[in-house]
Amino acid sequence: MTRHTPHRPRRAPAAPIRLVPDSLAFAIDTAAALIEGVIDGKALTEMQHTARIAELPAPVRGAVLDLTYGSLRAYGRGDAILLRFLSKPLPTRLRAILLVALHRLATRPDTAHTVVDQAVTAIGAHAPGLKAVANGVLRNVLRQGPALDATLDSQVQSRHCHPDWWVEKLRRAHPDDWAEILTAGNQHPPMALRANLRRLTPAQAADALAQAGLTHRRLDNGAFLLDTPVPVERIPGFFDGHFSVQDAGAQWAAPWLAPRPGERVLDACAAPGGKSAHLLETGDIALTALELDPVRARRIDDTLGRLGLQARVLVGDSRRPDSWWDGTPFDRILADVPCSASGVARRHPDIKWLRREADIAGFAAQQAAILNALWRTLAPGGTMLYVTCSIFDDENSEQISRFCARHSDAKRVAIQGRLEHKLLPNAEHDGFYYALLEKAG
């Protein structure tokens, strides 16, 4: 006689949890959505726009962005931890939630219980059946503590939170400074302001910042370095064009190009317009701002409009002057060329993980094409300031050496006693490269 097992109805899957918008779980999950996009190969700025992060309430937006940027800076370490503790790969969104939680545990160990609880809650919003897995991973990390740190510190990528190839390239280019550069690349970037000297004097600017409670110090190039970054809403007169947010390293471009009143000046690759505006603030010049991308070109108009400045804004390819140049030579050219952006990776931490070593050669070729094309638009006796926000020699010293070898009428000109300036990322500024070239008359 056959024995029948009583039928038991199958339990319905647990309903997904709806996250409370002002909860840590919501912030973790929203940050994870941005990181998921980066893991899939999309730029962080693109993801922020798609996810409409700007529309979130200010406190929530701040929490989401802090978690996102911090987690991406520490991605190399978090990824190594998950490879160690996960026996099977998780869907990308869940993996990103754990990456955010790991960053939060590392930076806020005093809130470990809350972080684990809220991260598990965020996992539950997508896969309730995997809450136990997430809880186990995070608690294992907490239990292993110093022993886990020692293991991670023995590996290049997880110790420095940069790709292996990036670390090795820096070691070759900057044998004495590479470790400090990597450390700086994992920190929060500084915030510097530029006063619009057409609206107020340096003394008036300093006084306005002091009255607004923004403690700061003035750097050699006139930049105001804030002790603590703040939202632009707290900057006095920002929307009236009194100040601009611009990294202190970028504020060397205008004084080092040093155009004289009445000169024709070209800012190639000009968007979003910060350097164009700085040039216009320092003197009466005839400025042309060139930008390849029409959408980014509109940002130049916005920047100049806020500051009460005017320039000729053109959409065009700097490599093809015949499509936009009127044939009248420029006295000065600012060639702030596209590059790997390796010097500003702490502001754009997705760069570290989206770039590939092979990309550097591509940028170098693009830079060479831009320099060759722009050189013929420069008047004899005129000067061109070459600028990158890269810290890789392929795009900097080697690029300029190759250019001078190709052009016998190009002469390197010293800036403050040096033929080139390599500004490495530190507590005051991001990483930049500057070299000044003069065309034989």
Active site amino acids: 389
User: Which residues pair with residue 330 across a beta bridge?
Assistant: 378
Give the residue among 334, 233, 249 at the shortest CA–CA distance from 289: 334
Angle subtended by helix axes 58-73 and 75-85, to nearest 10? 70
Which residues 6+ apart lie within 8 Å of 308 measured at CB? 196, 198, 199, 241
| Cα–Cα distance for residue pair 260/285, rounded to 1 Å | 7
Q: What single-letter DSSP state applies at residue 187? A: S
| Cα–Cα distance for residue pair 315/323, rounded to 1 Å | 10
The total number of residues written for the chain in this structure: 441
CB 122 within 8 A of CB 29: yes
User: Which residues pair with residue 388 across a beta bridge?
Assistant: 433
Residue 344: enclosing H or E segment and its boundaries?
none
| Cα–Cα distance for residue pair 262/279, rounded to 1 Å | 12
Phi, psi of 188 (to 5 degrees): -65, 135
| Cα–Cα distance for residue pair 179/183, rounded to 1 Å | 6
CB 287 within 8 A of CB 280: yes
CB 204 within 8 A of CB 363: no
CB 17 within 8 A of CB 97: no
Both tokens assigned to 122: 């965020």
User: Which residues pair with residue 288 across a beta bridge?
Assistant: 266, 312
DSSP string, 214-280: --EEE-TTS-EEESS---GGGSTTGGGTSEEE--TTGGGHHHHH-PPTT-EEEEES-TT-HHHHHHH
